[in-house]
Amino acid sequence: MRVRSGLDRQLQMLEDEVLMMGGMVEKSVARAVDALSRRDLEESEQVVKEDDLIDRKRFDIEERCIDLIATQQPMATDLRILIAMLHITVELERMGDYAEGIARISLLMGQEATLKPLIDIPRMAEKAQGMLHKALDAMVNRDTVSAQQVCSEDDDVDALYDQIYRELLLFMIEDPKTIRRATYLLWVSHDLERIADRATNIAERVMYLVTGKMEESGASKY
């Protein structure tokens, strides 16, 4: 006899909502960096506006989790799913804020061109997005190996951040007039570095969901 099929269905719906929110965040990160590269202020404006949708989604998911905890008394795996979803949702919401932050930097720059053609920043964005995508796939597949890989990939993003930081520092040393524009790009790369860290946090939550163990995958440099 299959019992608690109602709870199973609600947990599945909850995970689907989290995945949908993950998709919104991925898209927001990609659009923010793309708009920055193309100096498309209208698109940057749109990313800022649409962050409200991500924030609202987070509250919807949290409310669902709270309702299920209050009414279903979840235990063991059910409980771990709910706790993991709550944490993952908060991580996603913060990632959305970083994407919004990038869009706001783009708006701050106004009509001004970027200090240099963006090469490493889009690469960083792509890697961070990839980590998020993989972490969410690992969640769906309950795959701790993939989740662990996400954590390892954070080192690549950190290395790119170091590289961008060095490069921008050189610009600033050579010509202090570039400091303002270089700082904008440094902020962008910092936001991307944080997005990757948050993807790592999601991967750690996936490992908790599957194994019940709460462990940090390895201390980040940042």
Query: Nearest approach, Cβ of 13 to other proteins (angstroms)?
Result: 17
| CB-based contact 18:88 (threshold 8 Å) | yes
Nearer to other proteins, 3 or 113 (CB): 3
Contacts to other proteins from residues 35-74, by CB under 8 A: 73-74
Nearer to other proteins, 166 or 213 (CB): 213
| CB-based contact 66:30 (threshold 8 Å) | no
Nearer to other proteins, 79 or 90 (CB): 79
Query: Nearest approach, Cβ of 206 to other proteins (angstroms)?
Result: 15
Contacts to other proteins from residues 70-99, by CB under 8 A: 73-80
Query: Nearest approach, Cβ of 7 to other proteins (angstroms)?
Result: 8
Contacts to other proteins from residues 117-156, by CB under 8 A: none
Please pick, from the candidates 140, 169, 211, 218, the single residue that binds other proteins as defined by CB under 8 A: 211
Cα-only R_g, the chain: 19
Nearer to other proteins, 77 or 152 (CB): 77
Query: Nearest approach, Cβ of 178 to other proteins (angstroms)?
Result: 53
Please pick, from the candidates 7, 41, 69, 172, the single residue that binds other proteins as defined by CB under 8 A: 7
Tokens of 45: 């404006």
Nearer to other proteins, 6 or 110 (CB): 6
Tokens of 185: 């790009």
E strand or H helix at 25 = helix 5-38
Nearer to other proteins, 3 or 219 (CB): 3
| CB-based contact 98:194 (threshold 8 Å) | yes
Query: Nearest approach, Cβ of 84 to other proteins (angstroms)?
Result: 12
Reduced to 3 states (helix: H, G, I; strand: E, B; else coil), residue 214 is coil
Q: What is the amino acid identity at position 79?
A: L
Number of residues in contact with other proteins, rule: CB under 8 A? Answer: 16
Nearest to 81 by CA among 17, 141, 137, 11: 11
Distance CA 68, CA 87 (A): 15
Please pick, from the candidates 20, 140, 212, 216, the single residue that binds other proteins as defined by CB under 8 A: 212
Q: Name residues whose C-beta falls within 8 Å of residue 96's C-beta, 6 or more positions apart in sequence.
A: 24, 25, 28, 51, 54, 55
In this structure, what are the phi and psi dihedrals at residue 74, rounded to the nearest 5 degrees?
-65, 145
Residues in contact with other proteins by the rule CB under 8 A? 1-4, 7, 73-80, 211-213
